[in-house]
């Protein structure tokens, strides 16, 4: 496996080669002089940094539940990700909920989980399922749900070119797979309809 420095150097070279391939060599066009380094940093440090995180570590610790614990929901979280088909970003809002097992974690950990699963080359459908599955597997939640509402730039700036079109996906794990009442409680709490 390449070191972080090796990855950064390789990716910088890729962006240099890309600029040369489109006749915008950094040596010829001064406005592109820093572009390879800046682009490599953006991809590694912002768009794909989710590969550096582990959902298990994000959801570790926490506090024991006391008695009967109700549904926990964090809604309206802005996020961004990158579609693996065209390497174009998508962004939107995540709504995540879970029924606790024997422990809960701080709400900011749910936001970190969204970024961990989203800051990768991942389809929206797979991202939502990864979030729900992680809550059940690593937090021990009895059930989990994730709704992602996005604008996919591959539908906006290429192909069908439909600005404003929204892609909404729902993912469920654990008890949410079979419990219609839990799903309805979640969807009502985030003001959505199934």
In whole angstroms, what is the distance from residue 51 CA to residue 7 CA?
13
pLDDT on residue 192 = 67
pLDDT on residue 166 = 95
Kindly tell me the burial class for residue 140, based on how many C-beta atoms sit within 10 Å of its own C-beta (0-12, 13-18, 19 or more).
Answer: middle
CA 154 remoteness from chain centre: 17
Q: What does the buried/exposed string (b/e) look like for 114-132 if buried means 16 or more CB atoms within 10 Å of the residue's CB?
A: bbbbbbbebebeebbbbbb
pLDDT on residue 194 = 47
Successive 10-residue mean pLDDT values, the chain, 194 residues: 93 97 93 97 97 98 87 97 96 98 96 98 98 98 98 91 93 96 94 64
């Amino acid at each position: 496996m390449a070191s972080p420095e090796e990855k950064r150097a390789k990716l910088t070279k890729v962006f240099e080669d890309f600029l040369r391939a489109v006749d915008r060599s950094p040596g010829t066009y001064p406005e592109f002089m820093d572009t390879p380094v800046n682009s490599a940093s953006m991809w590694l440090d912002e768009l794909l940094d989710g590969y550096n995180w582990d959902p298990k570590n994000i959801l570790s610790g926490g506090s024991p539940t006391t008695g009967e614990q109700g549904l926990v929901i964090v809604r309206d979280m802005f996020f961004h990700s990158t579609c693996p088909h065209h390497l174009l970003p998508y962004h939107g809002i995540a709504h995540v909920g879970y029924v606790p097992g024997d422990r809960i974690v701080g709400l900011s950990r749910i936001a970190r989980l969204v970024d961990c699963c989203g800051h990768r080359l991942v389809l929206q459908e797979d991202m939502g399922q990864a979030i729900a599955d992680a809550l059940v597997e690593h937090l021990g939640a009895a059930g989990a749900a994730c709704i992602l509402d996005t604008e996919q730039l591959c539908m906006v700036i290429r192909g069908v070119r439909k600005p404003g079109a929204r892609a909404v996906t729902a993912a469920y794990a654990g008890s949410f797979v079979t419990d219609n009442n839990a799903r309805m409680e979640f969807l009502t709490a985030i003001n959505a309809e199934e």
